Amino acid sequence: MSHFQRLVLIVLGALGLAGPASATNVFRLEGYGAVSRAMGGTSAAHDTGSAALLANPATLGLGSGGSRLDLGIDLVTTSHLEIENAATGETARSGHRDVASAYYAPQAGYVRRSGALTWGVGAYAGGGLGTEYGKNSFLSRTPGGIDTGLENSSRLLVLHIPLGMSYQVDDRLTVGGAIEAQWTGMNLGLLLGADQVASLIGRNRARGSLVPALAGIPGLEGAHFSFSRSSDVESGADAWGWGGRLGLTYRLSESTRIGAAYGFRSHMDDLEGKARLTAVSSVAGQIALPGRIRIVDFQMPSTLTVGIAHQATENLLLAADVSHVGWKKVMKDIKVRYAADGGGELAVELPQNYRDVTILSLGAAYRIDRWTLRAGASIANQAIPDNTLFGVIPATPTRHLSAGFSYDFGRSNTLDFAYSHALRESLGNASEPNVSSGAPIRSTHAQDNFVLSYTHRF
């Protein structure tokens, strides 16, 4: 990581970044900014402030003239996240340990409008996930009953730094676009039982010179991957890349506007960092092999969103969006490459086979004097097949309810708040290689999301 890139992350940390946001719609937040989040994630055809840079940049032109500065924080709390061993009834609950169960993400944006042209720049967390099951649950126990004391946890953060603009072509049509730097950071602690290792080898999903070395360890009970950093800003494996999106809005009438936006698949370098592979043996104990890890071609998906906003009355705004997210092309496998410091390599491909997701989002906003009250909901299909679920990657919520408000202190200053609740979702998996044959699992996940932001216009 260069000194400049490190400086960027430190500055963002000063803005309030203390960890990643837990997964909502897979690894993506269900809406960007307090306005969109409170209105069910809708954003295609109404003003969402600088958060438009991550949704539909054409809507940058819907704001008032002059400049605006948005500063805020996104807080996600996992109100219920546990993995149940369906065979024994044991549970592993994600909680406050090395990776906290409450996650913070920054929001910052500046937008300037001058005539038909509006431009903006920002820094937003686009999503991620976070789990912490500790070292003493059944997830840290081998099929043979050895309590390894090894961590099972995950932390993923995707950070967007966009620069975008919109241009009002005429009194009906506005077009826009944004290009952005992206940073992805990942921490992981994952124990694979010997039966999972054997399944990966048998399916040609584990290859390399370390395979016969692992297979030859007497009494092999499992293998544990670990790469993490305690810093809230940096991660065990990370990379930079870029992405972008295009959008437009079209005014059908004085009260109705439609919008559309397309976000391109990310172009990230492979995530790299220091790691440790630990072989667990009933004969030799734990054998640690420090080295370096690479997560190959870990990308965020393309998105296509179309929507409509209708000013039903002077005070009431209604909005609806439909989004298609292309998870199938980017999450077929998690591809891991490991090189031990003492020599030897290992290539592992963990099957995921995610489905594409279609999301329906609905929202409403009602203006009363200085207050604007908002509410919304969204629903999506399940991306994760029930035979590829990992306990440390429970990106399962599909249904959200939301509410929020804005309060104008005057023409120049506004406080925005949003609350979003991911309804409880359960998903099971009894299939190797992602679970041990001795421990079919069921994930149950619900969470709460709070957004607080402040806008100053000048």
How far apart, in whole angstroms, are the C-alpha atoms of residue 135 and residue 278? 14
Domain count, the chain: 1
Q: What is the pTM of this model?
A: 0.90
Tell me what pLDDT residue 100 has: 40
Alpha helix positions (H), 192-332: 194-202, 210-215, 327-330
196 by DSSP, 3-state: which? helix
Q: Looking at residue 155, which CATH number applies to its domain?
A: 2.40.160.60
Average confidence (pLDDT) per 10 residues, the chain, 458 residues: 49 43 72 96 97 97 92 81 90 65 76 96 88 91 93 91 98 98 94 93 95 92 89 81 98 98 98 97 95 97 98 98 97 96 95 96 97 98 90 87 96 96 91 80 90 96
Beta carbons of 86 and 105 less than 8 angstroms apart: no
Query: For residue 76, what pLDDT is reported?
Result: 74
Task: Answer yes or no: are the C-beta atoms of 63 and 111 closer than 8 Å.
Answer: yes
Model pLDDT, residue 13: 46
Give the pLDDT confidence score for residue 170 in this predicted structure.
96
Instruction: List Cβ neighbours of 228 (8 Å cut-off, separation of 6 or more).
Output: 98, 151, 153, 155, 187, 188, 189, 235, 236
Structural domain of 149: 3-457
Q: How far apart are CA 114 and CA 424, in angstroms?
A: 45
